[in-house]
Structure 1
């Protein structure tokens, strides 16, 4: 079972930042590099990996692309890293969808290499004074019973930081208070804590009850969480019909990890719709979901539903691993050279 972690809303503030795209001048390389211009209107903006945003990663990556006679990318490589593999891969994958000028426009009549640079730049964040003021406001709201603030403070006490000493009992008190107030993310988090049984006694039945309360609010992540718990529940608590219903509802809202979970269940079910299952996994992987990238790599590695392709498997495992997904890191170590 793969458990998601909900983060306080403040952790997403850097989503307002925008990366910029420029083309690099031609340089000598181990392969001839020519100046081929991308048709920028054809270039989708590379998606900034959520993990990189949370970690405040930025930098410039230089990429080389082999352009076919139709202006489409045949092959690509990272020439100079930004210092952050996940940003490098995101730029490489995103810009590979660009349409370039044909090599014929510069007098070449064969596929030709060109270079581009991509800058990932975060805007200035909060000043220390602003962060302190926001913390004090959140703390006061939590003390007054605000459910969202209690949820945010519960994570602060759980982890501990420069302003809050780690205090797991206080964290759990705030989390339960927020959940009892009906805050969906707190209900999901509490269900996960009860299921894990690490900081409190494990209680699967109570975990599922809280997950059901959260899912009843129509939140896709809550529906996915309930489906996960039901999948791993002991026999007396299993409910396959409810599990599939929750996954379908989460998929209908575009939840990528629900797509890969439902997709893999359909692929491995005796009478499942395997082609629909494959499409769901592919869609989720293209949305940069790390679990889906791992699942799709597994299908390529094993030759299930897809022709076996170790090159594609390795590339997908690498992307998943770069995003911090531990099963992908383990799979890379075991993959035949």
Structure 2
């Protein structure tokens, strides 16, 4: 059986700072044949370091799609991209940025297969799968109930120790997205996320310290 397929490079929806495509652009990854045969879907959430020359340095998986072939394809495609680096006092500086790749097969716009897989693992206590489920609900939200489910999943994943869920919950507290702004709670969650090694939380705290 063959499927119409799509892979989508989402904007840095969780970014604490914008990134801009450079002259070389950023090609979207090809759907891996193995994943297509197995009807694999999901969201790969990556963090990547933009070097001062705009090339991509290190990449880390902030949350996996549940399918290694999809995550590898996303990392491989991203490694070839070139971006316009951030600048501080007129000079280019290195910066970590998040980006999400949404993988889905036409006919399953709600990504229900991926949701079922993530739910099974989340119910078994997998905090990463719970965070993935919250990302899936957020990416396919049609109703307020969907958005509430996404936020509830995010909070639960953070409380269970998923490092980037902690960062995203902190960001929401800081910005007042989906909840009243609370600087104290934001800082608490940023620190917990950084303690877990989340590169964006570590960067955020360093930038905040520099600003003050």
TM-score normalized by structure 2? Answer: 0.47
Indicate the structure with greater strand content.
Answer: 2
**Normalised TM-score (structure 1):** 0.31
Structure 1 or 2: more helix by fraction: 1
Q: Which has the larger radius of gyration?
A: 1
Q: Which has the higher contact order (CA 8 A, sep 6+)?
A: 2
